[in-house]
């Protein structure tokens, strides 16, 4: 097993992006699920777009048909190539031979897996092909959902698969520490914080204390994102005569979950305060129409991409104290941090912002500045490229 000295993401000021085209000298095949286009998929798309600036071609093998593969195809090579490596079931190992064939035909020097399912397939493909592989920890498998059985199965699959991984990338320091506690040696794991483009859309209005506020939640709507908690918080705010409008931006994971949310909205009597938008490809534009972004996650976050996108858009964030989120948001500076699964705590922080207890403009500028310094897409890609080159260099020295 290859090892090298662990490093963290480069300080943003150390990221140097070549001004002229760079020749591709490394080819990496990312193995992804691919059915959604949510946080982890945004990481993958930005890597596909930015890594060539550092001499690395990134392509994708998708284990499930769906939104990510179609988005890669729609961008006509700007994010790399998406190969169909669909599994017929969770235990279908046929994609293993396809990965070996792709590695041979296209000279991929590394595999880069992004989910427990992908780790299982990649571990076997690496063994039979001799191609080393890296695992990207986007969230804690043991706490990724509200289903204990699903968490236990995914954590077991991940643990068994990672025995053969050459290196791990975690998106936050909290996840790095989680890996170390679970037995991964420190020289096998590197923090590369998530990053998003520096897009600050023009705003037409600035919210005023006591005025009408539109807050938004941008997510793939599923139980661990905490929409139920946010709806309860809005109902509590209404009881206290603090009325805010909530815009839900993103698809629902299942129709059953959508129906349960609609039933809750009706039961709470807040239908006139809720707007369902659905999936959007232009997140910055959607954020520019909000007065604050709320992410009430109850578990399973590594370092949420939408939090970073809101910061880039100079939009204060109200989030929960889950995993890596507090590594981006300092309470009272770039945004506000509430306790997870606690409607009272969330309602308190929303009320504090809309009532003017915090300077909205100062918070917005602090969020934008922090993003530029710490969480750009180029910094993320540069840090990932460093892991690749360190690993390949160690391999050549064996």
The pLDDT assigned to 9 comes to 46
Higher pLDDT, residue 20 or 352: 352
Distance in angstroms (rounded) separating the CA atoms of residues 46 and 310: 16
Average pLDDT on 345-373 reads 96
Count of beta carbons in the 10 Å neighbourhood of residue 180: 15
Other CB atoms within 10 A of residue 285 CB? 12
DSSP of 209-238, one letter per residue?
TTS-EEEEEES-B-GGG-HHHHHHHHHHHH
pLDDT value at position 37?
86
Measured from the Cβ of residue 20, the count of other Cβ atoms closer than 10 Å reads 4
- Tell me the mean pLDDT in the region 118-140: 95
Mean pLDDT value of segment 241-265? 95
Q: Are strands 110-113 and 26-32 parallel, antiparallel or unpaired?
A: parallel
Q: What integer is the mean pLDDT of 303-329?
A: 94
Under DSSP, the state recorded for 83 is E
Furthest-apart CA atoms within the chain: distance in Å: 68
Where do we find the tokens 């096998």? 188
pLDDT at 188: 95
The answer to whether 196 touches 375, Cβ cutoff 8 Å, is yes
The torsion defined by the Cα of 275, 278, 282 and 283, in degrees rounded to 10, comes to 60
Q: Give the residue from 377, 384, 385, 266 showing the smallest Cα distance to 42.
A: 377
Q: What is the pLDDT of residue 61?
A: 97
Q: Is the pLDDT assigned to residue 231 strictly greater than 60?
A: yes
> Domains in the chain, please, with CATH?
12-194+377-396 (3.40.50.2000), 213-374 (3.40.50.2000)
What residues form DSSP beta bridges with 31? 61, 113
- pLDDT tens profile 280-304: 889 999 999 999 999 999 987 889 9
Q: What is the pLDDT of residues 166-211, one digit of tens each?
A: 999 999 999 999 999 999 999 999 999 999 999 999 988 899 998 8
Listed residue (30, 26, 168) closest to 99, CA to CA: 30
The per-residue pLDDT for 151 is 85
Confidence of residue 19 (pLDDT cuts 50, 70, 90): low
**Would you say residue 6 has pLDDT above 50?**
no
């Amino acid at each position: 097993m290859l090892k090298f000295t662990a490093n963290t993401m480069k300080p943003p000021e150390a990221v140097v992006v070549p001004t002229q085209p760079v020749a591709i000298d490394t080819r990496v095949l990312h193995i992804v699920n691919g059915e959604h286009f949510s946080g982890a998929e945004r990481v993958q798309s930005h890597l596909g777009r930015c890594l060539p600036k550092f001499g690395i071609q990134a392509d994708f093998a998708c284990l499930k048909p769906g939104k990510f593969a179609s988005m890669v195809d729609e961008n006509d090579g700007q994010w790399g190539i998406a190969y169909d490596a669909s599994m017929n079931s969770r235990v279908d190992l046929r994609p293993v031979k396809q990965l070996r064939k792709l590695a041979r035909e296209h000279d991929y020097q590394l595999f880069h897996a992004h989910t427990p399912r992908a780790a299982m397939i990649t571990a076997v493909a690496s063994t039979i092909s001799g191609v080393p592989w890296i695992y990207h920890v986007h969230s804690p498998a043991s706490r990724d959902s509200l289903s204990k059985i699903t968490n236990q199965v995914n954590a077991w699959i991940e643990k068994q698969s990672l025995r053969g991984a050459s290196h791990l990338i975690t998106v936050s320091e909290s996840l790095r520490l989680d890996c170390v506690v679970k037995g991964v040696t420190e020289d096998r794991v590197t923090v590369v914080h998530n990053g998003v483009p520096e897009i600050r859309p023009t705003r037409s209005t600035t919210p005023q204390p006591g005025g009408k506020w539109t807050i938004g939640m941008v997510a793939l709507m599923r139980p661990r994102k905490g929409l139920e908690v946010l709806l309860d918080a809005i109902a509590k705010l209404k009881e206290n005569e603090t009325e805010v409008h909530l815009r839900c931006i993103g698809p629902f994971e299942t129709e059953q979950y959508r129906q349960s949310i609609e039933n809750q909205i009706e039961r709470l009597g807040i239908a006139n305060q809720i707007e369902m938008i659905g999936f959007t490809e232009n997140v910055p534009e959607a954020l520019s129409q909000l007065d604050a972004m709320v992410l009430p996650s109850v578990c399973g976050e590594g370092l949420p991409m939408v939090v970073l996108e809101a910061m880039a858009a100079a939009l204060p964030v109200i989030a929960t104290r889950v995993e890596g989120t507090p590594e981006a948001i300092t309470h009272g500076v770039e945004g506000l941090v509430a306790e997870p699964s606690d409607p009272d705590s969330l309602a308190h922080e929303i009320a504090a912002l809309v009532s003017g207890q915090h300077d909205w403009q100062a918070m917005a500028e602090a969020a934008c500045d922090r993003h530029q310094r710490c969480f750009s897409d180029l910094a993320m890609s540069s840090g990932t490229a460093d892991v690749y080159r360190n690993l390949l260099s160690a391999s050549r020295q064996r």
